[in-house]
Amino acid sequence: MADEAQQDGKVDGDENSVADKPPQDPLIVKDDIFYRISKDDESGVTEFLTKDKKLVNSLDEHGMTPLQHAAYKGNKSMCQMLFDYGADVNGGRHNNGYTALHFAALSGNAYLCQMMLQQGAHPSVTNSVNRTAAQMAAFVGNHHCVSTINSFVDFKDIEYFTTPSAPDKKPKLDIVVARSLHRLIMDVNFHPVKVAITVRKNAVLVEHIPQLYKVLEEMSEREMKKSGSASEIVSFKLHLLSFILKTLHKDTNGDVNKFDDFIKSLIRPKTGQYLCEALEVLLRRGVRDFRFIETTIMQQLVTNLTHTKVCEDPGAWSIICSVVNGQKGFRDNDPCATCGEERGAKKCSRCHYDAYCDQECQRLHWFVHKRYCKDKAREYNAKMVAAALEQQAEGTSQEQALPVDEKEKKTL
Ligand SMILES: [Zn+2]
Ligand SMILES: [Zn+2]
């Protein structure tokens, strides 16, 4: 072992050290921290760092840090370990200006993006082709990363409101509700129905609705005042959340027993329509109420909404989603017909027409869905029968096309 290491020109007194172990791949001549990261070898990386902590922010020949390498590989535990050793999330001098957050966004791992942001990554930094991490994620179709980056709000921004401005004053936000509010903000789905369902499930949120919408509106304004790092998207989302909660409170008086009526009013379409007018009106009012009219996001929203009539495809919710989360070329899944959730929604087992994320959403939508479930089930079954017959016919015609001896072989 030691002889081999000497032949490689790597001499180190410690028999078990990483430097004594030459890389297995004959094409790799250099064994360093970057090589170990490329192999997802966490203990190898730890050994390097135990010997020299400064390596954690070292650069390879492309100006990349170990963290950027681990982020590109989408390796969560490796990234966490590098942070534990003091990795600088905004470090590195990559040739094309990519940051660790850019690499996390390209890896497609939304949790990793959140981790980078929690460590203080700057989401507005652009690379040499003038793209932010979220824009790069959108470019390669990593939509969940786009939404995660665009929705990110530091918990400190919420905590700020839990301290009173003077000793004799009450804080604007009770500390008990701060974490729940953070989770509500970080949810990439801020469809009004989803917001109402989330609030209803959490008694602390229900109890604090007026505090929540006041704080959210103030957060929206503070976001726009952040010099250099202000995010129009975050500011708009905070405003819309505030507007939804304010409407929910006004319409229900904070009484959870009336939440069902509120939700149903937002999913009840007029006969012959698919989109619900009350939802369209709520969202359009919410957009109109955003006071930063000079922002790009507002101009995009106004342009798109004025070109679409109320209840006309694609609908206000789709327009808002595409502006906030980036335009999608395709849908990964059919969203939940009740709350707009895109992940994990399953189709109605009878008609396969509408999808729902759970039984609660299916129950809430039933008063609408029952109008057409039977008809759609009949259509679905007819389609299935037609497809089966077509497949059978294809099989027969292929058989007819076979030469005689082939046919004989098949019958044997
Ligand atoms: Zn749902
Ligand atoms: Zn159905």
- At 326, the pLDDT band (50, 70, 90 cuts) reads low
For residue 360, the CA-to-ligand 1 centroid distance in Å is 7
State the virtual CA torsion across 201, 207, 213, 218 in degrees, nearest 10.
Answer: -120
pLDDT digits (tens, 9 = 90+) for 330-368: 556 788 999 998 887 899 999 999 999 999 999 999 999
Percent of the chain with pLDDT over 90: 67
Question: To which CATH superfamily is domain 32-150 assigned?
Answer: Ankyrin repeat-containing domain (1.25.40.20)
Closest CA to 351 of 327, 374, 385, 320: 374
Domain ranges of the chain: 32-150, 156-329, 330-412
Average pLDDT over every residue of 161-175: 93
Which is nearest to 144 in space by CA: 7, 343, 312, 410?
Answer: 343
Distance 340 CA to ligand 1 centre (A): 6
Average pLDDT over residues 139-154: 88
Q: How far is the CA of 351 from the centre of ligand 2 (A)?
A: 4
Q: What is the mean pLDDT of the chain?
A: 87
The whole-number pLDDT of residue 228 equals 74
Mean pLDDT of 245-262: 96
* Closest CA relative to residue 34, chosen from 80, 90, 88, 73: 73
* Ligand (nearest to CA of 353): 2
Q: Does residue 301 surpass a pLDDT of 80?
A: yes
Which ligand ends up closest to the CA of 337?
1
The pLDDT confidence band at residue 29, using thresholds 50, 70 and 90, is low
Residue 220 has pLDDT above 80, yes or no: yes
The mean per-residue pLDDT over the stretch 37-47 comes to: 95
As residues whose CB is below 5 A from the ion ligand 1, the structure lists 336, 338-339, 341, 357, 361
Between 264 and 24, the higher pLDDT residue: 264
**pLDDT over threshold 60, residue 275:** yes
The answer, yes or no, to whether residue 212 has pLDDT greater than 80, is yes
Q: Is the separation of the CB atoms in 142 and 105 below 8 Å?
A: yes
| Whether the predicted pLDDT of 410 surpasses 90 | no
Instruction: Quick: pLDDT tens for 118-141.
Output: 999 988 899 999 999 999 998 898
CA–CA gap between residue 196 and residue 190 (Å, rounded): 10
